[in-house]
Structure 1
Amino acid sequence: MKVLVPVKRVIDYNVKVRVKADGSGVDLANVKMSMNPFDEIAVEEAIRLKEAGKADEVIVVSIGVKQAQETLRTGLAMGADRAILVVAAEDVHEDIEPLAVAKILAKIVEEEQPGLVICGKQAIDNDLNATGQMLAALAGLAQATNANALELDGDSAVVAREVDGGLQTIKVGLPAIVTTDLRLNEPRYASLPNIMKAKKKPLEEKTPGDYGVDVSPRLEIVGTAEPAARKAGEMVGSVDELIAKLKDAGAV
């Protein structure tokens, strides 16, 4: 069984994001980029399935700029077998929208015929949480979102997911789309020998035109702004003073 894992190149989660002075977007100049953390979890889960003998091949896919090669090499160093890069933009500031990404992925799913597609539930740069669901609809596959546990049971996948009331466990037929939550696993670090081996693993380059998909944006970003700064706190001398101030502020 093949497992397909889409991955995205995003600003590293340890980096403090800076907004451009004109408010047109986020400044990416000289900023460290890395694999989206939710996608890292998806790659780890796919590799664990292969190590358990439940998958034969792990394929990582990225859709975006040419620099996403680095992100794919990270996935290959973790243990994926091969990679596909769809170069859909020249400018690193151009974000390919979820619908266009899902359309391309649907074509790749049709071509590769994976038994399972594991996606991160969302990208930390736009938090849209839409690609996995759109892909399931376009490919006509079952879906299980926000997974924090995944097991394969014959021709089905059993997925536990967090809901407001606790945990919900569902069973979906394969092939299926699963989106990962943070508690699913702890991704491994790629070892130096595996990083060297990753350079020799196959990485195929494609374009949206190869799949007949138009990636022209349908959304316009009107403006980007920093969140409002928190006001300074105020020290109080006693619990009674605290309660009095909360009453004055209408919080009690």
Structure 2
Amino acid sequence: MMRIVVCVKAVPASTEVRMDPVTHTIVRDGGSAVVNPFDAAALEVALRIKEERAARGLDSRVSVLSMGIPATEELLRDCIARGADEALLLSDRAFAGADTLATSYALSCGLRELGGFDLIICGKMAVDGDTAQIGPMLAGLFDVLCITDVRDTLVSDTFLSSPGRIRARHGVDGGIETVEAPLPAVITVAKDIAQPRMPSIAGVLAARDAEVSVLGAAEVDADAARIGLSGSPTQVVRSFVPERVGEVELIEGTVAEQARRVAELIGEAGR
């Protein structure tokens, strides 16, 4: 049995978001949330690996793991409808306000609750935070190798026959590189690595009755000093929506006069 865990984050479905004035983090009320597009691609990669192994008569289990508000459970059910075998949601007020380090630690507790892993697949980044840190941090917490920005998974015979090694093409400065890593490992994938499938009717019916485990901090034995806002070494000091001015000035005169006025406007903008 190969254990594949996909980390999923709920992100706002709209660019119109509200910020908490105290924690300076996004207010997540679950009203219009979707699965982070990069994570949706990660799930599709996991399901394709599962199918390739199944074609050889080999078993795989795809688990989906998330941390968020209770409403995130519905998004995890959608992942089950698409083919995931199980889902675990970490939901507790104690997790609120976490930065990427505190989030990674909480997810590591959830991974242990799932019974470990052979391969963790994360989206390269989340569209609401754009840090691209969760995958590498999880790899660090478990002391395994991490391949970031994977554009294509080149599963080898050893990968398909047993938890051996994974080969992948990933983005680097100036091009694409092919690398290989022993399992267990973590990979983070680009959004265009795969087009997520639509859930089937049978999948939707199965997801409706599936049990999504929802556990709090105490239930996963998380250290209170390492989770949430108090366990986050980085803090958002200030957040704001930039003011946009729609004024237009028509510059007339000779070429020299126009040039002087443009220089003045550039100088004013820099102050």
CA shift for structure 1 position 50: 0.8
Equivalent position to 2:221, from 209, 212, 217: 212
| 8 A Cα contact 1:59 1:81, kept in partner | yes
Q: Distance in 1 between matches of 2:103 and 2:181?
A: 23
Deviations for 1:74-98, whole angstroms, at most 9, x for unmatched residues?
A: 110110001111113389xx44322
CA shift for structure 1 position 179: 0.6
| 8 A Cα contact 2:30 2:69, kept in partner | no
Q: Distance in 1 between matches of 2:20 and 2:111?
A: 41
| Paired AA for residue 4 in structure 1 | V
| 8 A Cα contact 2:124 2:191, kept in partner | no
CA RMSD of aligned residues (A): 3.0
Deviations for 1:79-122, whole angstroms, at most 9, x for unmatched residues?
A: 0001111113389xx44322222223323444523211101122
Gaps of 5+ in 1: none
For 1:62, the equivalent position in structure 2 comes to 66
Deviates more, 1:183-192 or 1:79-88: 183-192
Structure with greater proportional helix content: 2
Gaps of 5+ in 2: 159-163, 267-271
For 1:148, the equivalent position in structure 2 comes to 151
Structure 1 pair 96/68, CA: closer, same or farther in 2 (3 Å)?
A: farther
| 8 A Cα contact 2:169 2:177, kept in partner | yes
| 8 A Cα contact 1:44 1:185, kept in partner | yes
Structure 1 pair 229/60, CA: closer, same or farther in 2 (3 Å)?
A: same
For 1:116, the equivalent position in structure 2 comes to 119
> For the pair shown, which has the larger CA radius of gyration, 1 or 2?
2
CA shift for structure 1 position 150: 1.0
For 1:133, the equivalent position in structure 2 comes to 136
Structure 1 pair 200/245, CA: closer, same or farther in 2 (3 Å)?
A: farther
Q: Distance in 1 between matches of 2:68 and 2:120?
A: 19
Q: Distance in 2 between matches of 1:164 and 1:246?
A: 40
For 1:185, the equivalent position in structure 2 comes to 194
Q: Distance in 1 between matches of 2:67 and 2:44?
A: 19
Q: Distance in 1 between matches of 2:166 and 2:245?
A: 44
Alignment map for 1:1-252 (pairs within 5 Å): 1-12=2-13, 15-19=14-18, 24-26=24-26, 31-53=31-53, 56-89=60-93, 94-111=96-113, 112-153=115-156, 154=158, 155-213=164-222, 214=224, 215-217=227-229, 218=232, 219-229=234-244, 248-249=262-263
Question: Percent same amino acid at aligned positions?
Answer: 26
The size of the alignment, in residue pairs, is 243
Structure 1 pair 19/83, CA: closer, same or farther in 2 (3 Å)?
A: closer
Structure 1 pair 131/63, CA: closer, same or farther in 2 (3 Å)?
A: same
| 8 A Cα contact 1:64 1:95, kept in partner | no
Q: Distance in 2 between matches of 1:6 and 1:209?
A: 20
| 8 A Cα contact 1:88 1:96, kept in partner | no
Structure 1 pair 95/48, CA: closer, same or farther in 2 (3 Å)?
A: farther
Structure 1 pair 139/59, CA: closer, same or farther in 2 (3 Å)?
A: same
Q: Distance in 2 between matches of 1:133 and 1:120?
A: 11
Moved over 3 A (4+): 18-31, 107-111, 230-236, 244-251
Q: Distance in 2 between matches of 1:175 and 1:20?
A: 37
CA shift for structure 1 position 228: 4.3
